Amino acid sequence: MGHTVNGTTYPQLYVHAQTAQLRCLMTTLCDKHSQRGDWVFTADRVNRIMVEFALNFLPVDPVRVITAVDDEAAEGVCFAGKIVGVSVIRAGEAMETALRSCCRNVRLGKILVQRDEETAKPKFYLAKLPHDVAERHVLLMDPMLATGGSALTAIGKLLEAGVKEENIIFVNVVAAPEGISNLLHRHPKITFCTAAVAEGLTQKCYIRRSVGDFGDRYFGTNNHAH
């Protein structure tokens, strides 16, 4: 179980199998020449794959149902407890549609953390969370993880709100080894799900050989090749 990055094994890190489909999709996301319509369509597919992957790590309870064919009892499972999706604004909002398509009527929260381009440090602005967030399992959504500063800030706000560390599932698309190390050394009880582990960071702390600014490319604003 878990995944090894740069010689360190992280039991709570789960990297999606590098299937032909996922590799094709990630290639489109990384290509700076991808047309925006194709890029957004592909991003939605990857986000859906990753949300479904992350849902596998929610706890379940046994349940008995009556089958439709012969009215016989059958053993199964159902998700244990309530969930909430929390997006790290703005890129994390791109994953909300995928979560809604998998979980009907799911509650959503938002945490606004912005990177200071001069210092590469995160700056917290606001958190809008359900009043009962402490009673829920949280899918924390942020497609890009560079240094991990924004994610660490968001996790800190969830913990302040009473969420148990072990009830947080971080849903991600591309993560740099530096960010993975920072996140899981500080919060070893969270579950971390990603589609790809990047090579590392540039001198300006951007993810190397990656998709660029996910939020900019998804929402059609300034396209910086981060």
Residues 6 or more apart whose Cβ sits within 8 Å of residue 158: 86, 111, 129, 133, 138, 140, 168
Catalytic residue among 45, 100, 107, 115: 115
Q: What is d(CA 208, CA 200) in angstroms, rounded to the nearest whole number?
A: 6
Place of tokens 């703005």: 90
Phi, psi of 118 (to 5 degrees): -80, -40
Residue among 217, 141, 202, 150 nearest 173 (CA)? 141
Reply yes or no on whether 70 is catalytic: no
**The dihedral formed by the CA atoms of 195, 199, 201 and 206, expressed in degrees to the nearest 10:** -40
Catalytic residue among 19, 119, 202, 221: 119
Going along the chain from its start, the domains and CATH numbers come out as: 3-219 (3.40.50.2020)
Amino acid 222: pLDDT: 67
| Amino acid, res. 204 | K
DSSP codes of every residue in 50-89: HHHHHHTTS-EEEEEEE-TTT--EEEEEEE-SEEEEEEEE
Helix ranges (H only) for the chain are 20-30, 36-55, 96-102, 149-160, 177-186, 214-219
Amino acid 119: pLDDT: 76
Answer yes or no: are the C-beta atoms of 190 and 158 closer than 8 Å: no
Reply yes or no on whether 119 is catalytic: yes
| Amino acid, res. 134 | A
Reply yes or no on whether 9 is catalytic: no
Strand partners, 191: 169
Reply yes or no on whether 115 is catalytic: yes
Residue 181: exposure state from Cβ atoms within 10 A (0-12, 13-18, ≥19) = middle
Residue among 161, 175, 181 nearest 84 (CA)? 161
pLDDT along the chain (226 residues), means of 10: 91 98 98 97 98 98 94 94 95 97 96 82 93 98 96 98 98 98 97 97 92 94 56
Catalytic residue among 90, 142, 194, 213: 213
Element (H, E) at 113: strand 107-115
| Amino acid, res. 211 | V
